Structure 1
Amino acid sequence: MKNRFRRITGVAVAALILVGLTGCWNSRELNTLAIVMGIGFDQANDLEEVEITAQVVKTKGIKGGKNGGGSSQEEAFINFTEIGTGSFDIIREFTHVSSRKLYFTHNQIIVIGENLARSGIRNTLDMLSRNHEARMNVYMLVAKGSAKDVLNLKPELGEVPAMEIAQLMEAQKNTSHTPDTFFYEVTFSLVSKTAAFVIPTVEIGDSAGRKVLIVSGSAVFKTDKMVGELNEKETRGLLWVTDDIGSGIIEIAVQGVTAELEIIRSNCKITPEIGADGSVKIKLKITEESDFGSQTGSVNLLTMENIQRMEEAQAQEIRKEIEMVLEKTRTLNADIFGFGEALHRKYPHQWESMEAEWNEIFKALDVEIEVETKINSIGRIDQPNYPSKE
């Protein structure tokens, strides 16, 4: 019995060793791949065609300096551009200009040129939605101008534009002036009959005479077309409601002086209500906590009375930002807040009769805003940096 067991065990171990020796059947060598770090889509001159720019990293172009720092001897990236009618066909056409097959698993960003964004992005993104190599958790941006120009601009600090933009998106969480929009979120929104969505905007700006990439604000989409833009404050107004506030500074005026408060945490509860008469109301309750950052002037804002005044002023500022974006989106007729989805979840049967009319309902929707704020920390000093008046 023992010998039989040993024979069976030996055969099993030998089989496992043989399987291991075969390697991965679908493996590909690194030197046969063009690793894509960013991809851009633009409207071509022929409106029926799309221009695709693929940013490929050149590992030989990134070298370490004597002290371990980055010292680029040549460009660390190369951009390939092709034009055609179908995204899938265009990607295959890149083999005419690149000896390596494009590999999307490490892609960082997807940039849509403004002209294409306004004409519609659904068909353009279909290929990436189906491609098993394309990551769904990559940042999406809309370029004010062309996506190709954005990907062509070499960054000041980094070496690869796509990586620099991805890092800019991470940094934006400190201001909450830009949404984090990932590819999978856009694909979900594209199949919704009522939801609108936003994508952050990127542009080439000027800083002390140098061209730099600036990520700020957002583009508003209805169905799959860009219908408008939100500035920084309007975008933060949206993020209060969608519960996507990271951090940021709120500037308020109290007792004739200016104070800056740092957002620490925020929460929004959305409560939809349908009245007996069929009227629809959305209740928003925002609770926010902040730290006292700085002030101008000699008035001591850290008395109990002035802290209460600052909390009230902060609540008014938050309410103002939400009202600003509500007004803008009513004119665009775009429910970027997900109010329709909230109604659908709570009142599935009533929603069936509302869905077709949601655009008209949204424009006249009663939105009640309640904001509660609290200042936690006041910092290391409890008096302004002025001589005492005593």
Structure 2
Amino acid sequence: MKKRILVFVFLILQIVFTSGCWNRREPSELGLVAAVGLDKDGENKVKLTVQIIKPGEIKAPVSKGGPGSPKAVWVVSSTGNTSFEAVRDFVNQTGRRLFWAHNKVIIIGEELAADGVVRYLDFFIRDPELRRRSFVLVARGKAEEILQAEHPLEKIPATAIEGSTKAGKNSSTSAVVNLKQFVDMLTSDSRDPVASRIELTPEEAPKKRGIETTEGGGKEEAVNRFKVDGAAVFKRSKLVGWLNKTETRGMLWVTGKVDKGIVDVNCPEHNGLVSIEVIRASGKIKPVIKDGEITVNVDIKTEGNLGEQACQLDLTKPEVLHRLEEAEAAAIQEEVMAALTKAQQEFGADIFGFGEEIHRTFPREWKNLQKIGIIYILN
């Protein structure tokens, strides 16, 4: 009987002391962050800019007022000696504690990236609220300006940036990297980091293009848009340059990250182009040590469909298909060599993971290698 009473009392105490959510936070007390940008501010300070979602404006009907209509996000900036200090200072402006679980993208300004990103990213790695799958992008110019830009199809610009980044996989012309992958590359001793490039593309005002604006004849100013393509290249933790779309896909061929895309080749013995749609691709790096020299073989395999033919070709003949395959291989090799040449000669960076593969394949030899002469052989 006494045991039953003790158990009953214990259960009552459990109910009393564990009832409710002790660490609950009401949405009305939080600032929901959709995107964050980092810029350099002076010599040793960092400027953080965030897009904070305004829940009341998300479901609101679109107004005919155009640029004057309410926005679904509030863009606000804060400065500090560290990222953590800048984050804590936001509450003085917003009156709310920032909530990071919905953050979609981290945009790093060009000047800060060139100065080195390690010290500024530590907060984003340590904070448990931040998603490690948030995309990392590097801005041509200031990250703050990117976050202030609008998008015609999305009320929340961060959603559009996330969508454009994901869409880069369809054309394989952008280096799609999330926070975890970027940090892994930063901490690697045998590979240099890359990230997606984002930049502004100013759009003319409608009247300049000879298009009538909305009712009332009011002036409609030009609006900055953004686009995501290409790649930012780092040497260790510092930005050293950029790859265009062609060079970026050359890098992706080598690393086996080409998902889809279009390869245009010249028609064999005819004028015009043939567009080949890549549906599957793989890239394999195989290091070999021969006669004391390290050779890296890159084996690229693709499978595709004929998407468009702008010339006269008899595709029923096997020799014609064979010539098309050779033309496609030559086009891919040209893209790869463009990326290799720029990375090696201009940046001196290993963005392909050659050193990583050598380290993995020959761990003993790697310890003794001070200067590695790599011969690129493409199969």
Shift of the 92–143 alpha-carbon distance from structure 1 to 2, 3 Å rule, reads same
What's the counterpart of residue 38 of structure 1?
35
* Correspondence 1:223-372 to 2 at 5 A: 223-254=236-267, 255-256=269-270, 257-275=272-290, 277-331=291-345, 332-354=347-369, 356-357=370-371, 361=372, 364-370=373-379
Shift of residue 218, structure 1, vs aligned partner: 0.6
CA distance in 1: counterparts of 2:70 and 2:10, whole angstroms: 50
Shift of the 212–348 alpha-carbon distance from structure 1 to 2, 3 Å rule, reads same
* Per-residue deviation, residues 17-58 of structure 1 (Å, max 9, x unmatched): 8279613322211111101000000111x1211111011100
Whether the 8 Å contact between 1:283 and 1:368 is mirrored in structure 2 is yes
CA distance in 2: counterparts of 1:237 and 1:330, whole angstroms: 13
Counterpart pick for 1:93 among 89, 92, 99? 89
Greater alpha carbon shift after TM alignment, 188-197 vs 343-352: 188-197
Q: Which runs of 5+ in 1 are unaligned?
A: 67-71, 371-390
Q: Which runs of 5+ in 2 are unaligned?
A: 63-67, 206-222
* Per-residue deviation, residues 76-118 of structure 1 (Å, max 9, x unmatched): 0001101121111111111110111011111000001111111
* Per-residue deviation, residues 1-20 of structure 1 (Å, max 9, x unmatched): xx999x59984994698279
CA distance in 2: counterparts of 1:287 and 1:16, whole angstroms: 66
What's the Cα RMSD here?
Answer: 2.3
Q: Which amino acid aligns with 1:307?
A: L
Shift of residue 73, structure 1, vs aligned partner: 5.5
Q: Does the residue aligned with 1:196 lie in a helix, a strand or coil?
A: coil
Whether the 8 Å contact between 1:63 and 1:73 is mirrored in structure 2 is no
CA distance in 1: counterparts of 2:35 and 2:341, whole angstroms: 35
What's the counterpart of residue 190 of structure 2?
194
Percent of pairs with identical residues:
33
Shift of residue 153, structure 1, vs aligned partner: 0.7
CA distance in 2: counterparts of 1:8 and 1:302, whole angstroms: 89
Q: Which amino acid aligns with 1:36?
A: V
Q: Does the residue aligned with 1:312 lie in a helix, a strand or coil?
A: helix
Q: Does the residue aligned with 1:289 lie in a helix, a strand or coil?
A: strand
What's the counterpart of residue 377 of structure 1?
none
What's the counterpart of residue 180 of structure 2?
184
CA distance in 2: counterparts of 1:245 and 1:12, whole angstroms: 63
CA distance in 1: counterparts of 2:275 and 2:16, whole angstroms: 64
Counterpart pick for 1:75 among 71, 75, 93? 71
Normalization by structure 1: what TM-score? 0.85
CA distance in 2: counterparts of 1:213 and 1:153, whole angstroms: 7
Normalization by structure 2: what TM-score? 0.88
CA distance in 2: counterparts of 1:12 and 1:351, whole angstroms: 66
Whether the 8 Å contact between 1:218 and 1:231 is mirrored in structure 2 is yes
* Per-residue deviation, residues 182-238 of structure 1 (Å, max 9, x unmatched): 111111122222310211111111456553211111110011100111110100011
What's the counterpart of residue 139 of structure 2?
143
CA distance in 2: counterparts of 1:8 and 1:344, whole angstroms: 66
Greater alpha carbon shift after TM alignment, 186-195 vs 237-246: 186-195
CA distance in 2: counterparts of 1:212 and 1:301, whole angstroms: 42
Whether the 8 Å contact between 1:61 and 1:73 is mirrored in structure 2 is no
Q: Which amino acid aligns with 1:159?
A: K
Q: Which amino acid aligns with 2:21?
A: C
Shift of the 234–302 alpha-carbon distance from structure 1 to 2, 3 Å rule, reads farther
Q: Does the residue aligned with 2:90 lie in a helix, a strand or coil?
A: helix
* Correspondence 1:200-211 to 2 at 5 A: 200-207=196-203, 209=205, 211=224
> Between Structure 1 and Structure 2, how many residues are aligned?
354
Shift of the 12–335 alpha-carbon distance from structure 1 to 2, 3 Å rule, reads farther
2:141 pairs with 1:128: no
CA distance in 2: counterparts of 1:269 and 1:167, whole angstroms: 29
